[in-house]
Amino acid sequence: MRLFQLGRELRKARVGAGLTQHDVARALGCGQGKIQKIEDSTTESVATGDLAAMLDLYQVTAEDRARLTALAAERRRRRPDAGPKQPADFERLIEAEADAVEILAWHHERIPGPLQSEHYMLKQFALEGEENVVPLLRRRLSRAMVFTVEDPPRYRVVLSESSLHRMPGGRAPAVVVDQAEHLLRLSDTYDRLTLQILTFEADIAFVETDFTVLHFAGKQDDFAYQENLINTSASTAQKVVAKCRDNWHKLHRAALDPDDSKKFLEQLIADTRATWTWSDNE
């Protein structure tokens, strides 16, 4: 309860002060995504300095200041296990997603975190042998905040058809249907999300491993994030960013358009349900 109470109280104080998350982020010298995570309680703790600066901005009473400071201290003491530490480059990606103006993503064998259904996530955690899935699930779900920040980025993702068939733990029909329906719900709910499917029949000879390009407004450098079995990398080198962006546009042009991609998902759901047997539920 302390985890969620602090976030709710800070949001209420910010709104009462007539400030937006962007206003607070500028004052603290951070991204809006950080403020959203604090208010949504998807970050494990709030730094003492950040909390003090926020309370100064909100001009809270001395009584409320003492109460919220105590809540934050208790939250730090009782902080839940956040699970295995992620690579620094991946941490950089998830911290910056909500602050980007545009995100170009390509995934050829799996569904990216912001688009995963809970069923897909749980199967993935089970496959990896994770026992305490609550903090992992909360962390993974928090990435979907990229669609709900005050000024969300334009998120443009191309998924290989393979990513819709190669499910964690094997191609269970229930997971396929759940994940495909989740993608349709996201596409219908968030107009800043553009989803395209690259089919096996697409006129393209070769596809790259997964990569994401983040474009920012102002002086912040764009960067490209790449991931494979061996390592991860995040680069602001103009040559690397430009190559990833060019490759994404090639994939984008070869993929189904957004409307046909929705039809593809609907057909995948219908075909999978048609072959679904009772044993598939076991």
Write down the domain spans for the chain: 2-77, 88-281
**Contact yes or no for 152/190 (Cβ under 8 A):** yes
pLDDT band with cut points at 50, 70 and 90 for residue 282: very low
Pairing, β 102-107 against β 154-160:
parallel
> Does the pLDDT value for residue 41 go beyond 80?
no
CA dist., res. 281 & res. 174, Å (int): 7
d(CA 282, CA 280) in angstroms, rounded, equals 6
pLDDT band at 71 (very low <50, low <70, confident <90, very high): confident
* Ranges 58-62, 103-107, 223-227, most confident: 103-107
Q: How far apart are CA 46 and CA 186, in angstroms?
A: 30
Q: What is the pLDDT of residue 194?
A: 97
**pLDDT tens digits for range 207-259:** 888 999 999 887 778 999 998 766 778 888 999 999 999 999 999 999 999 99
pLDDT of residue 74: 76
Task: Using alpha carbons, select from 83, 87, 33, 82 the residue that is nearest to residue 227.
Answer: 87
DSSP string, 238-259: HHHHHHHHHHHHHHHHHSPPHH
- In this prediction, residues 35-47 reach a mean pLDDT of 76
What's the mean per-residue pLDDT of the chain? 85
Phi first, then psi, for residue 217 (nearest 5°) are: -85, 160
Q: 19 pLDDT band (50/70/90 cuts)? A: very high
CATH class of the domain at 2-77: mainly alpha
Q: Which residues contact 25 (CB under 8 A, 6 or more apart)?
A: 31, 32, 34, 35
**Per-residue pLDDT for 33 more than 90?**
no
Q: Do domains 2-77 and 88-281 have the same CATH topology?
A: no
Q: Residues of 5-40 as b/e, b for ≥16 C-beta within 10 angstroms?
A: ebbebbbebbeeeebebeebbeebebbbbbbbbbbb
What letter represents residue 135's amino acid? P
Confidence of residue 76 (pLDDT cuts 50, 70, 90): low
Ramachandran angles phi, psi of 237, nearest 5°: -60, 125
88-281: CATH topology: Endonuclease; Chain A (3.30.870)
Tens-digit pLDDT profile for residues 143-174: 787 888 778 899 999 999 999 999 988 888 99
**Cα angle 211-217-219, degrees, rounded to a multiple of 5:** 100
Q: What proportion of the chain, given as a percentage, has pLDDT over 70?
A: 88
What value does the mean pLDDT take over residues 125-149? 75
Q: Which residues pair with 198 in a beta bridge?
A: 160
232 three-state secondary structure: strand
d(CA 140, CA 182): 15
pTM of the model: 0.73
Q: Which two tokens stand for residue 21?
A: 């998350």
Residue with tokens 């208790």: 74
